[in-house]
Amino acid sequence: MMIEANNPKRKSWIKYNRDSEFPIQNIPFGVGKTIENKIHCLTVIGSTLISLTKLEELNYFNDTSLKPQTFNKKNLNPFLKQPKKTWREVRDCVAKLFDSNNTLLKNNEKDKKSVIFDASNIEMIMPLKIGDYTDFYSSKDHATNVGKMFRDPENALLPNWLKIPVGYHGRSSSIVISGTHIKRPSGLILDKITQQPYFSKSKLLDFELEMAFVTGQGKSLGENISTIEAEDFIFGLCMFNDWSARDIQKYEYVPLGPFLGKSFASSISPWIVTLDALDPFRTDGEKQVPQVSSYLQFEGKKNYDIKLDVFLKTDSDSPFKIVSSNFKYMYWNMCQQLAHHTINGCNINAGDMMASGTISGPNKSEFGSMLELSWGGKNYIEIGNGQKRKFVEDNDTIIMRGVAQNESYKIGFGELKNKILK
């Protein structure tokens, strides 16, 4: 049965271009701050921002199961603590309110004035208080490329990779929103000639094209979430850039994995797009061989067809596209990742974030990091106007965009954009 807010025939009384990433069928969730420093939980249609805080205050959600004063907080966590039934009711309610045939709010100038904002008057801020963050390593093409570069090319994947969704716990405190400048990190780097470490700013700074899902409130400690149940605990997705200092990481990662080479910064797009909004874009993933353990088996289409692009911009030039990949290339899907994360009884909380790992496809143009594009720094990457790169340099800006599209509309996430400072 179609989710009501996804009706492709629905039109809004808010006008927007047909190419908009935020049609009425999207209704993502975010948080913004006004010029007067007032915080609003928000959604967006076209380029028009809609205050969920004001809609709740004016009793437009009274016919839903939304708990009182959910959206008068500084983040979406109180909303995420509520069940998927409530998430869906609120999104459906917004779709009905802004339907072209509904005049309830459209003809109420007083309410409309307090509910609707021009995007130029709002600064988007972190939509969540992220409690815990886990980064997976779930793109087979990416894992294979890295294995070929640094290990035996004939045995690129480690023995456990095809058996479990490999992951590690990252640092949530350094996750920042699009628009935040990233300072180049420092650490110990191994000198290739002397084989001794020296302290320096990273010389091999890289982006990682990823997506991340945000969780609702999970089960109690000691209980697990099955692949069948997983979608009831996944609120939605955002774009995710897991910045990586390759040289710092290379020296530190044995035996316990990434640390300072990752924890200096990761960044997210401002909007969380619900799993419901992405439902029309489900697709099959790669057949998993060998067969996975019973707790990782699933039924149905659990991958999503989302086109992902990465652009590099210098101070003097326009953005130049260097990557075109797709979220559908994930070998391990979100349901498997969440099931694996909790199979030992680990509890998850509302607002936890789990990133996909670098998303690469089979072709070079689909490689999701400069490490792969330059093949470990051996080759240059064209970035337009005769300029070249091997890794990200100071004052470079990395821009990521994600769009799912069918014959009726697009669903986007907003731009993820960060500049590197010295």
Known catalytic residues are 142
Q: What is the pLDDT of residues 324-335, one digit of tens each?
A: 999 999 999 999
Alpha helices in 58-207 (DSSP H): 77-80, 84-97, 109-115, 140-150
- Angle CA 134–132–402, to nearest 5: 55
Q: What is the DSSP string of 237-283?
A: EEEEE--EEHHHHHHH-TTT--SHHHHT-EEE-S-BEETTTTGGGEE
Strand 282-283 with 186-190, pairing: unpaired
DSSP-based three-state secondary structure for 144: helix
Average pLDDT, the chain: 97
Residue 58 pLDDT > 80? yes
pLDDT for res 2: 86
Decide: pTM greater than 0.95.
yes
Q: What does the block give as tokens for 340?
A: 């694996």
* Helix (H/G/I), strand (E/B), else coil: 328: helix
Across 246-270, average pLDDT: 96
| pLDDT tens-digit series, residues 108-138 | 999 999 999 999 999 999 999 999 999 999 9
The pair of three-digit structure tokens given for residue 178, joined into one six-digit string: 């699009």
**Does the structure show a pLDDT above 80 at 336?**
yes
So what's the pLDDT on residue 151?
Answer: 87
Position 1 pLDDT exceeds 80: no
**What percentage of the chain has pLDDT greater than the value 90?**
97
